Structure 1
Amino acid sequence: AQRNSSLILCYEDVNGSCIKTPYSPGSRVILYMAFSFGSLLAVFGNLLVMTSVLHFKQLHSPTNFLIASLACADFLVGVTVMPFSMVRTVESCWYFGAKFCTLCSCCDVAFCYSSVLHLCFICIDRYIAVTDPLVYPTKFTVSVSGICISVSWILPLTYSGAVFYTGANDDGLEELVSALNCVGGCQIVVSQGWVLIDFLLFFIPTLVMIILYSKIFLIAKQQAIKIETTSSKVESSSESYKIRVAKRKRKAAKTLGVTVIAFVISWLPYTIDILIDAFMGFLTPAYIYEICCWSAYYNSATNPLIYALFYPWFRKAIKLILSGDVLKASSSTVSLFSE
């Protein structure tokens, strides 16, 4: 039989190969550069966050351990998901085999949900810190932080492993799966029931974050007004120290707000697309799906940038790490805060 010569296949000599939709050489170079930049930023940016928190003793706090664990989830997205997705996106073919496709999809879901849960716990932590500052140190201890970190890892890993390795994601969709599955494709089909669960797993923590953050923002605003009215009268050093601490907490709340907003903006297109797809028979054009995917992946690269913009201590830590000063024996006790 004469093959249509205008069609380019992922695997020329294989029956049932996927059809390739090639980009022009110029577009491919630009796409590879953009995606490589995102992957490298996710890997090295989050590596810097983890190193900073674990190395400098001054950063050993329950909140910062959560931030380091979140960075670990984002780092793993940069290592296990983004490089392979980059090839899939640009080449429009999956060249890494069916088993690795399942593993990648499993990592993708696990690490991304892990990020959601970490952010949610960080929100709760900041909420307690701002609303109940006196009780906060006794409420949110290192062991509580450890429990939050464990939950943020165990739940997503168990969930994604269960979904992908039992084949529960495509139960009842066997015909659709065989229609979509060609050699060189890695499209995960998810049944409507599982998509709803996925959506709720994203939506509920996100809703919690938005509600808590709105409350944090209002309280921080009230505190700021209170401080402005008292600071003009106060001269004592202990009071001015309290004011500085309150300002630092407000700045942390602001940074958290930016992180949450960036997260919602990055993830919303993907979540909505998946939901529409499941109920409309997977109609989304491939390129729109890829844009939604990369919008979500890029979130793993943005958190270190947000910290670098808003936290002077993180910038100072980066300088010490990149200059090699961290290798000195006394470097772990260096003071990173300006006060």
Structure 2
Amino acid sequence: MVQVFIPATFSISTWNNGLRRKDLFLHPYCFEHINGSCFRSLRPALINGAMYIFMSATILITLCGNLIVIIVISLFRQLHSPTNFLILSLACVDFLLGAVVMPYSMVRSVEACWYFGELFCKIHSSFDMMMSIASVFHLCFISIDRYYAVCDPLRYKTKITTSVVALFIACSWLYAMSFYSFGLIFPKANDEGLENVVPMLTCEGGCIIQFNKLWSLLDALTFVIPCFGMICIYAQIFNVARKQARQIQSRDFKIFSLDISKQRAKRKREQKAAKTLGIVMGVFLACWSPLFNDTVVDAYNNYQTPTTAFDGLIWLAYSNSTFNPLIYGFFYPWFRKALKLIITFKIFQSHSSLIQLYKESFCQRVE
């Protein structure tokens, strides 16, 4: 019999009602008057209400936090740097996840049914895949940017230009959109060879996508290879940063020059940015790895993961998009200053885009 594979990234969109076979006779139908309807779970209204409140709060924080990141980097010219353009694009990914994917997934998780039709199921699933893979590639390119900034600073400005970053961003979006989401789901390339299995797993009120062996393997590689590369790059970055810190401490700083002071300040800024973005990558791995691992193991273990646990992994993965702007706010003073300007409506003043969020005298660019 052909094995049905549900890939890690796309398992976000295959949760549908998450029912296991042993549960089938314990629940009513999603659509009571339609033959072939999926089964749905019944929970007390209090629990459903609590779930809606928690998930709605997560969605709201995701939308507001990432919208602030988008506004801040777009508005203030001082923040127009290659690194920040990558962060801006990543914030767009997280914002779209909160706007297009999470609200419908919330209804599916609470109600245990998909009420939005087959076509929108494909669109929603495609966006789901697209956002997760786009996040992986953005973080991978950010790690490359940080590598040159910390490990090869003399060639950074010639290697990581605005044009190069634009290419990074375009590759992240185009690959995720054309090859790995819309280009995969709508042509049904993912379920080739599963023609005898798909009808058995399809029901009205479900949103499930099956993956054959080829696409299951590609899915795993698309996540694992970039993540492994990021880990290696950040390990090298922090190794170099430690050496630089020891060199700075061992020098005799009794006589300072302005150039040396600027160089030290710039190096510290680059290292701090690398540390902050390394935390972003670490949070991404912490949020997404459990879901990826569970999906792969579950595919070979008759899908034994309890529905509640699987839903928890789903929203843990989603919460990564919630954490990113919180990390920026905690570690970046310029982000907090910009947020204060937004709250006090000073961004509506003339020439607000020229406001200095940090001292240019110490560094000519912010990371």
Normalising by the smaller structure, the TM-score range is over 0.9
The alpha carbon displacement at 1:231 in A equals 6.0
Question: Of 283, 306, 316, which aligns to 1:295?
Answer: 316
Alpha-carbon distance in structure 2 between the residues aligned to 1:5 and 1:204: 42
Could you list the per-position Cα deviations for residues 196-218 of structure 1 after superposition, in whole angstroms to 9, with x for gaps in the alignment? 11110001110110000011111
Q: After superposition, where does 1:125-274 map in structure 2 within 5 Å?
A: 125-159=145-179, 160-230=181-251, 232-274=253-295
Query: Which TM-score applies when normalising by structure 1?
Result: 0.95
Is the 1:231–1:240 Cα contact (8 Å) retained in structure 2?
no
Alpha-carbon distance in structure 2 between the residues aligned to 1:313 and 1:61: 14
Alpha-carbon distance in structure 1 between the residues aligned to 2:216 and 2:292: 9
**Amino-acid identity (%):** 44
Is the 1:42–1:74 Cα contact (8 Å) retained in structure 2?
yes
Identify if the C-alpha distance between structure 1 residues 99 and 148 changes in structure 2 by more than 3 Å, giving closer, same or farther: same
1:9 paired to 2:9: no
Identify if the C-alpha distance between structure 1 residues 7 and 118 changes in structure 2 by more than 3 Å, giving closer, same or farther: closer
1:97 paired to 2:109: no
Is the 1:11–1:183 Cα contact (8 Å) retained in structure 2?
yes
The alpha carbon displacement at 1:294 in A equals 1.3
Identify if the C-alpha distance between structure 1 residues 252 and 213 changes in structure 2 by more than 3 Å, giving closer, same or farther: same
Question: Of 37, 44, 49, which aligns to 1:29?
Answer: 49
The alpha carbon displacement at 1:180 in A equals 2.0
Equivalent in the alignment of 2:108:
88
Could you list the per-position Cα deviations for residues 52-106 of structure 1 after superposition, in whole angstroms to 9, with x for gaps in the alignment? 1111000000111111001101111011100000000011011111111111000
Alpha-carbon distance in structure 2 between the residues aligned to 1:123 and 1:230: 29
Of stretches 290-299 and 91-100 in structure 1, the one that deviates more from structure 2 is 290-299
Aligned residues: 336
Runs of 4+ in 1 over 6 A off after TM superposition: none
The one-letter code matched in structure 2 to 1:276 is: V
Is the 1:192–1:279 Cα contact (8 Å) retained in structure 2?
no
Unaligned runs of 5+ in 2: 1-23, 363-367
Equivalent in the alignment of 1:336:
357
Alpha-carbon distance in structure 2 between the residues aligned to 1:143 and 1:330: 27
Q: After superposition, where does 1:111-122 map in structure 2 within 5 Å?
A: 111-122=131-142
Unaligned runs of 5+ in 1: none
Could you list the per-position Cα deviations for residues 293-335 of structure 1 after superposition, in whole angstroms to 9, with x for gaps in the alignment? 2111111111101101100001111111222111111110111
Identify if the C-alpha distance between structure 1 residues 5 and 72 changes in structure 2 by more than 3 Å, giving closer, same or farther: closer
Alpha-carbon distance in structure 2 between the residues aligned to 1:286 and 1:180: 16
Could you list the per-position Cα deviations for residues 278-297 of structure 1 after superposition, in whole angstroms to 9, with x for gaps in the alignment? 33444433323222221111
Query: Which TM-score applies when normalising by structure 2?
Result: 0.88
The one-letter code matched in structure 1 to 2:170 is: S
Identify if the C-alpha distance between structure 1 residues 305 and 5 changes in structure 2 by more than 3 Å, giving closer, same or farther: closer
Question: Of 106, 121, 130, which aligns to 2:126?
Answer: 106
The one-letter code matched in structure 1 to 2:332 is: Y
Identify if the C-alpha distance between structure 1 residues 45 and 231 changes in structure 2 by more than 3 Å, giving closer, same or farther: farther
Identify if the C-alpha distance between structure 1 residues 5 and 229 changes in structure 2 by more than 3 Å, giving closer, same or farther: closer
Equivalent in the alignment of 2:298:
277
Q: Secondary structure at the match of 2:42?
A: coil
Could you list the per-position Cα deviations for residues 232-274 of structure 1 after superposition, in whole angstroms to 9, with x for gaps in the alignment? 4342232222211111111101101111110101111111122
Alpha-carbon distance in structure 2 between the residues aligned to 1:283 and 1:289: 10
Alpha-carbon distance in structure 2 between the residues aligned to 1:323 and 1:300: 26
Equivalent in the alignment of 1:55:
75
Alpha-carbon distance in structure 1 between the residues aligned to 2:68 and 2:37: 42
Alpha-carbon distance in structure 2 between the residues aligned to 1:277 and 1:47: 36
Equivalent in the alignment of 1:315:
336
The structure with the greater share of residues assigned to helix is 1
The one-letter code matched in structure 1 to 2:142 is: I
The one-letter code matched in structure 2 to 1:164 is: I
Is the 1:195–1:278 Cα contact (8 Å) retained in structure 2?
no
Alpha-carbon distance in structure 1 between the residues aligned to 2:117 and 2:176: 24
Relative contact order, CA 8 A, sep 6+: which one is greater? Answer: 2
The one-letter code matched in structure 2 to 1:167 is: K
Equivalent in the alignment of 2:85:
65
The one-letter code matched in structure 2 to 1:79 is: A
The alpha carbon displacement at 1:5 in A equals 10
